[in-house]
């Protein structure tokens, strides 16, 4: 995860935890981590994996995007969002070398979390993740391996894939020589 995002995530984590009226000890128990580890996360001095970020967001009843933005979520309003190329990448997670997940738009105001992911040649997401909902993606360029449970599926440029997110999943660039890119969305929003 990007080091510059860690303090921002910590600030949002603390604010949302306090809004829920939970102590550090109570929130740590929900996450099954020590209070000192949670305190380090909130102070931005401990790194956070994508898997842990997902667990934290779930325990707070928010989306990952809510922890990555300074904007307060407004569940009563689902405005139109037109996202320009300049807006993409403002919230980018780098879970492994050569892997770039850009969460597109705010997640909390919508039921779908769009994303744009690029993989350098040979890059692999570090660990499979699982979460409630469904996900789909479209391969813009290159070839992508979808690791879904114990199976691996090759998805080529111009192809879509849709799958149940309760199954552990990860992506990898199937090419050793070129970049691969996918655009997709998941429900509920991260």
For residue 49, the domain's CATH number is 1.10.260.40
Same domain, 115 and 182: yes
Higher pLDDT, 149 or 2: 149
Q: Is residue 78 in a domain?
A: no
Mean per-residue pLDDT for 52-75? Answer: 70
Total domains in the fold of the chain: 2
Please state whether 122 falls in left (phi above 0), alpha (psi between -120 and 50) or beta.
left
**Which of 5-14, 82-91, 133-142, 150-159 is predicted least confidently?**
82-91
Please report the sign of the dihedral spanned by the C-alpha atoms of residue 180, residue 183, residue 188, residue 190: positive
SS3 call for 18: helix
Same domain, 47 and 98: no
Token pair 């109570």 is at which residue?
26
Q: What percent of the chain has pLDDT over 70?
A: 83
pLDDT at 7: 76
Highest mean pLDDT among 97-101, 104-108, 110-114: 97-101
- Is residue 180 within 8 A of residue 98, CB to CB? The reply is no
CA pair distance 144, 14, nearest whole angstrom: 37
Residue 60 lies in domain: 5-68
Same domain, 99 and 30: no
Higher pLDDT, 54 or 158: 158
pTM of the model: 0.62
Q: Which of 32, 53, 68 is the last residue of a domain?
A: 68
pLDDT at 147: 93
Token pair of 86 as six digits: 């300049």
Same domain, 112 and 40: no
pLDDT of 73 higher than 80: no
């Amino acid at each position: 995860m990007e080091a510059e995002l860690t303090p921002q995530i910590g600030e949002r984590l603390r604010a949302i935890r306090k809004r829920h009226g939970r102590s550090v000890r109570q929130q740590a128990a929900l996450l099954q981590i020590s209070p000192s580890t949670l305190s380090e996360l909130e102070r931005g001095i401990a790194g956070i994996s994508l898997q842990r970020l997902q667990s934290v967001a779930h325990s707070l009843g928010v989306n990952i995007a809510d922890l990555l933005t300074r904007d307060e979520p407004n569940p009563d309003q689902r405005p139109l969002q037109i996202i320009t190329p300049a807006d993409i990448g403002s919230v980018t997670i780098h879970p492994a070398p050569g892997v770039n997940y850009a969460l597109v738009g705010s997640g909390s105001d919508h039921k779908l979390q769009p994303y744009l992911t690029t993989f350098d040649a040979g890059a692999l997401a570090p660990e499979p993740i699982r979460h409630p909902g469904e996900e789909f993606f479209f391969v813009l360029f290159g070839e992508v391996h979808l690791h879904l449970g114990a199976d691996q599926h090759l998805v080529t440029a111009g192809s879509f894939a849709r799958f149940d997110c309760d199954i552990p999943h990860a992506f990898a660039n199937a090419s050793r020589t070129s970049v691969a890119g996918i655009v997709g969305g998941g429900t509920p929003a991260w």
